[in-house]
Amino acid sequence: MQIKKWTAAALGAVLAAGTAGTAVAHHSFATEFDRNKPIRLEGKVIKFEWVNPHSWIHIKTKEGETWRVEGGAPSALLRRGWNRNSLPSGTEIIVDAFRARDGDTRASAAEIRFPNGRELSLGNPTTEAVAAAAKRAKGN
């Protein structure tokens, strides 16, 4: 009986430790990004990371800076027509985003545009809501 208790306790500890990193890694939009600091980034895709909990687009801007732009989870992107090959390296894009609070070259965006005018949602529901609220505020 003692062995079963120790086995259950050990299994519980392993599961708790294994999921702790995921819980800590995920964050709210307001904790990491500032809705009062919008930025427009224009440049070429360096790399597109198809990872959980958020995808990341690495962009080299026309000014020569490298930015990391957070998008939605791969499952959210799939629902919007994306796949892991949607943004090959060298693709020119325009991103309206919100800067990181800590001043790093990191941002969160709801949509990207291409030079031909086509738009795609990055599948981040929080950022989409912030962008919609900003558009409504401009209309008033």
- Asked if pLDDT for residue 23 goes beyond 50, the answer is no
Spatial CB neighbours of 38, under 8 Å, sequence gap ≥ 6: 96, 97, 98, 99, 134
Structural domain boundaries in the chain: 29-139
**Most confidently predicted of 27-31, 34-38, 87-91:** 87-91
The predicted pLDDT at position 122 comes to 78
Q: What is the pLDDT of residue 88?
A: 95
For 43-87, how does the pLDDT look when each residue is reduced to its tens digit (9 = 90+)? 999 999 999 988 999 999 999 999 999 988 899 889 888 899 999
How deeply is 73 buried, as exposed, middle or buried, from its count of CB atoms within 10 A (0-12, 13-18, 19+)?
middle
Give the CATH number of domain 29-139.
2.40.50.140
Residue 43 burial (CB count, 10 A) = 20
